[in-house]
Amino acid sequence: MGSIWEIDFYSRPILDDNQKKIWEVLVCESPLDISTKVDSLFRYAQYCPSTQVNSGWLRTALQEAINQAGKAPIKIRFFRRQMNNMITKACQDLGIPAQPSRRALVLNQWLEQRMEEVYPQEAGYQGGANPSVRLEKPLPQRLPDALEGQQWVFVTLDAADLAEMPEWEIGFGEAFPLELAKVSPETRIPGILIFSPRALPLAGWMSGLDLAFLRFDTSVEARLLLETGVTESWIVANIKKPQLLAEAKGFEEAKQKANGVHFIGVQSDPKAEAFAGFWLLQEVNL
């Protein structure tokens, strides 16, 4: 399998000589499994003058990144929806699929680090909060029939257990090194297991959804939601039974203690040893 990149192309809190904001493209490689060494992931950064902000400049910058990496990625993820047209056009011109996604863990950390350590050192730096991305929140949808599992349960694993993921039999999935989320080996990681006799096709469908994170929502009624892409939201289950309600609250509490880290596993039945799908997820505030 080839690499997946996360990119951001946006203005930074730095003014040029004409008092216009300088833009920047950041490119970083996504970790795809739990044993990835964070320091080994490819990164590329380049400032862009405000007068040259267009898909042509971005395409050239991405080509330079590809030249440095030695190989093009199979997919590029980006979380900034307002840059959708420009990023998609630049990627299309390079023949690389572009995907709006909240799965940008390395990029998010790198941006935070640059906001604290890099931009303040630049001439023309303008202090202030890093503007978050305003995301419209459409109403959660019912899961497509193809994703309806036969049954599901809340479970927890020690972070140390997840280190053995490379030895597990997994059909579809994605993970990241737990050091990225600053999670210690003894931390309890919550998750859900979905059981279905159609486990493999179900996992295949889920793989195409670009999974972001799970969350227990009580704003309207108690329900477990699956967030995907940049704004999509799906209702995994409406939770009414007191025992399940307590488990859902426990899941959310454990997720917070684990810095947002959790997982989804898909199996054919509770006795199965293999996973048709297994995704390690982290809820981050972009």
Burial 150-172 (b: 16+ CB within 10 A, else e): eebebebbebeebeebeeeebbb
Confidence of residue 209 (pLDDT cuts 50, 70, 90): confident
CATH of the domain at 32: 3.30.420.10
Say whether both 165 and 85 belong to one domain. Answer: no
- What is the structure's pLDDT at 149? 65
- The mean pLDDT value for 183-197 works out to 94
Which amino acid makes up residue 167? E
- What is the structure's pLDDT at 137? 73
Please, which residues have CB within 8 angstroms of residue 87's CB and are 6 or more apart in sequence? Answer: 7, 9, 55, 58, 76, 78, 80, 98
Instruction: Give the domain extent around 106.
Output: 4-121
- The mean pLDDT value for 173-191 works out to 94
Phi-psi region of 59 (alpha: psi -120 to 50; beta: other; left: phi over 0): alpha
DSSP structural state of residue 150: S
- Determine the angle formed by the axes of helices 55-69 and 84-93, rounding to 10 degrees: 50
Q: What percent of the chain has pLDDT over 90?
A: 84
Say whether both 146 and 271 belong to one domain. Answer: yes
- The mean pLDDT value for 88-114 works out to 95
pLDDT exceeds cutoff 60 at 199 = yes
Evaluate whether residue 128 is within a structural domain: no
- What is the structure's pLDDT at 220? 83
How does pLDDT run across 258-267, given as a tens digit for each residue? 999 999 999 9
Evaluate whether residue 222 is within a structural domain: yes
Say whether both 171 and 227 belong to one domain. Answer: yes
Q: Are strands 141-142 and 232-238 parallel, antiparallel or unpaired?
A: parallel
pLDDT exceeds cutoff 70 at 64 = yes
Evaluate whether residue 253 is within a structural domain: yes
Say whether both 117 and 150 belong to one domain. Answer: no
Instruction: Give the number of domains in the chain.
Output: 2
Q: What is the pTM of this model?
A: 0.90
Say whether both 150 and 24 belong to one domain. Answer: no
